[in-house]
Amino acid sequence: MESVRLREQVGSCARARWLEYELNGAPLRTRGGTSPGNTAHDYLKALANNQIKWLGQHVVQRPPTDIFKASDAQKSPDAHVALYNKYLAISPYIFPEDKSMSRSTLWHWDMHASNIFVEDDRITSLIDWQSTWAGPLFLQYCYPKLVDYSGEVMLKPPEDYKVMEESDKTRVKDQVERSIVQFLYEIETKKQNPLLVRVNDTPQGTTRRRTVEFAEDTWDGDILPFRQCLIRLERFVSPAFHLENPAHKRHLGIRMKWALMFLALSIFQRKIYRTICVMARDGTSRPTSGMD
């Protein structure tokens, strides 16, 4: 219990504080008193630094014989810290360059039909706000549950709908309804809120958001999804990341030196071979083999 209590003190940013900063201009602070700064990127860095701090001070190792022990990496504080350091190195590339996408935004996370009250074709109330927080729009964004549909889009029933079995009719009807709702949502969003369209169309947007989501707690959660997101994100930003990251600069320099050495050796070998061939053609000499 003591470990849990201490973790709450040094854990990630209390999300409601984003609203306080937005309204009053007060500096953001975590529960442990560590300020993540005044920008969205500062929040990303504070998230990792707080986890690194907690891992270094309050981790309780399980005994090697524990039958419930997870993988060695999962229960290795050093493995977690190493991933958080990689996360810190790549964090400048998580948010898009468009600053409007990282502005503090109040977002309802559970918008489905049961939480929406309608009277006379007009929305009168929206309930169930307990999971809401004010944070960067890019991290908040997701399709509302009311319109979230990942199946095949079907905007009208097929021609043989009337002769279908009742079970198939029910399935097709649901598919058409979901498709139409999502289609109308996307059309109206393009008209009324084009910023959301740009957020939705951001390359690797889901991977970027999930990287931050998994970074919030890898010790009690799972280290593997966090590692996978970092790998995907590094591949996506590799041209810029490799050129600006000091470690990658060193590795790139070493690889370039070896490549130049092999290239020079290859050119030298070709010149020697051509010289021998010319001498053999002129009768002054000829290439030899170990069988002569």
Question: Long-range contacts of range 71-76, CB-CB < 8 Å, 24 or more positions apart?
Answer: 71/223, 73/223, 74/222, 74/223, 74/224
Residues contacting residue 52 through CB under 8 Å, at least 6 positions apart: 81, 84, 85
- Answer for the pair 230, 238: CB distance below 8 angstroms, yes or no: no
pLDDT at 70: 65
Task: Assign 3-state DSSP to the chain and report helix, strand, coil percentages, each to 5.
Answer: 60, 5, 35
In this prediction, residue 202 carries a pLDDT of 94
Helix (H, G, I), strand (E, B) or coil at 135: strand
Q: Is the pLDDT of residue 286 over 80?
A: no
Q: In the predicted model, what is the mean pLDDT of the chain?
A: 78
Q: Which residues lie closer than 8 Å to 86 by C-beta, 6 or more apart?
A: 230, 234
- pLDDT bin (cut points 50, 70, 90) of residue 192 is very high
d(CA 235, CA 232): 5
- pTM of model > 0.85: no
The domain spans of the chain are 2-102+211-244, 147-201, 254-292
Q: What is the pLDDT of residue 130?
A: 86
